[in-house]
Amino acid sequence: MRAVAANGSISGASRALGMTYKRAWLLIDTMNQGFGRPVVERSIGGRGGGGARLSSLGEALLRHYDDIERACQEASASSLASLDALLLRKG
């Protein structure tokens, strides 16, 4: 979803992620169906071609995901530092 937002299209996102368009579309379609409404909205091509953008739901999902990821990093920072310290002591 983030790649769609950055590239303005599903095909651009798939290229940026090194995957086929079909795979990218199937992932997006799975999310659209799972949430019962679009997380990505497509526009039909015309003179300048089509495109895609995140819906308001898609934007909210990314914000929540970022919040969860940040909270996980903060919660695990001490344990990860302890693991790093164990690695430094191996020799």
Angstrom distance (rounded) from CA 23 to CA 9: 14
Q: Which residues contact 45 (CB under 8 A, 6 or more apart)?
A: 51
Q: What is residue 46's predicted lDDT score, i.e. its pLDDT?
A: 64
What average pLDDT does range 22-31 have in this prediction? 97
What rounded mean pLDDT belongs to the chain?
A: 92
At residue 18 the predicted structure's pLDDT band, cuts being 50, 70 and 90, is very high
Q: Evaluate if residue 19 carries a pLDDT over 60.
A: yes
Amino acid present at 20:
T
Tell me the per-residue pLDDT of 55-84, one tens digit each, with 9 for 90 and over. 999 999 999 999 999 999 999 999 999 999
